[in-house]
Amino acid sequence: MDPRIKIFAGSSHPELARAICAELDMPLAKSETVKFSNENLMVKIQENVRGCDVYFIQTSAPPVNENIVEMLIAIDALKGASAARVTAVMPYYFYARSDKKDRPRISIAARLMADLLQTAGADRVLCMDLHSPQIQGFFRIPVDQLVGAPILATHMKTWDIQNGVLVAGDVGEAKELGRFANLMGLPVAIVDKRRYGDDDRAVATNLIGDVEGKHAIIVDDEIATGGTIIEAANFLFARGALSVKVAATHGVLSGPAIARIHDSRIDTVLVTDTIPLRDKLSDKVRVLSVAPVFAKAIRRIHDGDSVSDLF
**Catalytic residue annotation:** 193
33 touches a copy of itself by CB under 8 A: no
Smaller CB separation from a copy of itself, 24 or 177: 177
User: CB–CB of 41/34 below 8 Å?
Assistant: yes
Binding mask 185-214 for a copy of itself (x = CB under 8 A): --xxxx-xxxx----------x-xx-----
CA R_g for the chain: 20
Specify the amino acid at residue 40: N
Choices 16-24, 116-124, 212-220, 260-268; region in contact with a copy of itself by CB under 8 A: 116-124
**Contact pattern for a copy of itself over residues 213 through 232, marking x by CB under 8 A:** -----------xx-------
CB of 160 to a copy of itself, least distance (A): 22
d(CA 31, CA 43): 7
Q: How far is the CB of 304 from a copy of itself (least distance, A)?
A: 4
Instruction: Closer to a copy of itself by CB, 97 or 265: give it.
Output: 97
Distance between CA atoms of residues 224 and 213, nearest Å: 28
User: Any contact of residue 108 with a copy of itself (CB under 8 A)?
Assistant: yes
How crowded is residue 38: how many other Cβ atoms within 10 Å of its Cβ?
Answer: 5
Is there a cis peptide before residue 292, judged by omega within 30 degrees of 0? no
Spatial CA neighbour of 188 closest among 162, 214, 163, 209? 209
Q: Is residue 308 close enough to count as binding a copy of itself by CB under 8 A?
A: yes
Mention every residue, 6+ apart, whose C-beta is less than 8 A from residue 82: 49, 50, 51
Stretch that binds a copy of itself, among 11-19, 20-28, 101-109, 285-293 (CB under 8 A): 101-109
